Amino acid sequence: MRDSCCLILILFLCFPGCTAKKNEGFQKIIGTVKIDSLYVIDLDIDEEQLIAYSSIFTKVETIILETSRESLIGNNYKFSVFENNIYILNLSNPKDFLVFDRQGKFLRKIGGIGGGPGEYTPRVFDFTFDPDNHIIYLLCDRVVNKYSTDGKFLGHISLSRHVPFIQFSNGKLYLAPQGNAYLLEEMDIETGDTKFYLKAEQYSKGWTESSWTLQGSPFRNQSSESAKFAHMFMDTLVTMQPDGIVPFLVIKSKHLIDKEDLQKFAQMGPEGRGLEMRKTIRKIFCIHKYFEAKNKICFSYLNGMGIYSVLLDTLSNSYRKGFLSNDLVFDRRDRTMFGHFFSDAEGVYEMFPSILKEDFMKLIKEGKLSPDLDKRAQLMELPEDANPVIFYYPNE
C-alpha cells in the first residue's frame, strides 16, 4: 500500500510572543503538492485569559427548535446546516434524521429505519453534503445512502469496511477508517477508486484503535470545500484540497502526548479509559471544537483534565490562549459553558450537548441569561423536556 501523503515538513518555529507564524516566501512539499502557508501555534506561552465571545462575534440569534413527538432529539446527535435548513442526525434513540428550518420549525424526516429503499439499519453514524449537486450522504454501517435535500432517495454506495465518519469535499468522499494503518481514505464516487493518506505511525503516534474518542468526528469546518481533518492524537490539522491533503495548522509544545504515553494508555483498557488517561497522563492532545468566523479561527485542546481554547486572528497572525467565555448568551464574562460548533461562510452555530442540558436549563431558570439576549423570555418558559437550543453568531 502506497502512502499518498508522504510528508516532508520544514517548520520555521522561531517567532516572537504570540505571533502565529504563517510561513510565506518559501515552499514546503507534501507529496506532489506545494504549500505556501502553515499556521504554527506555540501552546507553551504563559499567558492565559478569558476569550469572550464578544471579541469574536458582534451579536447572537436564538433558534428554539420545535419539540413534538416526531421531532424529538436524542441524547447523542450530530448537527449541520445547509441552505438555511438545520439537519440533525440522532445517534441514540430515536434513530432518525430530522430537518428544521432556520426558525426552528420541524420540516420532515429523511429516510427511516427499515429494509426498504432509502431506509437504514439502526447503525447510522454520520452525514455530509455535496453542495454543488444538493446531495446528502448518510452513513449507515457499510452503506452510504444518497438523498436529495428534499428527502428523495437517490441510491447508495457500498463500502468495503465499516467507517464511523465521512466528509464530502471537492468532489470526493473522505472516510475515517478504524484500526487501519492510515487515518484518512479518499474515495472517487464515480469509480470507487480509493487513496490512503496520513499513516498512523507517522501522524498519530501509531494509534489506530477506535474504541475511545473525545472529539467526535475528526472532520472540521464541514460545510467548506476546504474541510479540515485532525485525528485525536494528531498535532497537525490538515485541509482537503482538489490536488491533495495539505497541512493547515500545527500545534507545538513540550507537553504534547507522545508514543510512550499512548502505550500506557492502551494498557488501561477501554472501560473508563478516557477519564483515567486525563488524570494520569497530563499531556496535550485532541484538537477539537474547531470553527471559523470572520477573520478568526478558534479551536480547543485537552491538557490533562483542563480544556483550553486558542483564538487566532488571521489578519494580524496573532493568537490568544485561554478559556472561552460566552458573554453574549450568559450574564457574566466568566461563564465558560460551550457546545458543539458548526461554521459556514455566513456564521457559526452552537448547540449545547445533552450532557450540559441540565446545567443550561438551570442557568435559564435562575435568570442568568444576558439581558440583551433575543427570545430571553421564551427561553425562560422552556419545559425541561424541550429540544436543545441553537445559538447562531453571524459573521458581521
pLDDT band (50, 70, 90) for residue 79: very high
Buried b (16+ CB within 10 A) or exposed e, 347-356: bbbbbbeeee
Q: What is the spatial distance between Cα 53 and Cα 264, in angstroms, rounded to a whole number?
A: 37
Instruction: Give 345: exposed, middle or buried? Use CB within 10 Å, 0-12, 13-18, 19+.
Output: exposed
- Domains annotated for the chain, with CATH where assigned, are 7-394 (2.120.10.30)
**pLDDT recorded at residue 269:** 66
Rounded mean pLDDT of the chain?
85
Q: Is 128 a residue whose pLDDT tops 90?
A: yes
pLDDT band (50, 70, 90) for residue 35: very low
**pLDDT recorded at residue 197:** 94
Q: Is 219 a residue whose pLDDT tops 50?
A: yes
Render pLDDT for 9-29 as a digit per residue (tens, 0 to 9): 333 333 334 666 554 332 333
| 138-161 average pLDDT score | 94
Render pLDDT for 258-316 as a digit per residue (tens, 0 to 9): 988 888 777 776 666 667 777 777 899 999 999 999 999 999 999 988 899 999 999 88
pLDDT band (50, 70, 90) for residue 89: very high
Cα angle: 202, vertex 172, 151; to 5 degrees: 130
Q: Is 394 a residue whose pLDDT tops 80?
A: yes
Render pLDDT for 372-385 as a digit per residue (tens, 0 to 9): 999 999 999 988 88
**pLDDT recorded at residue 212:** 54
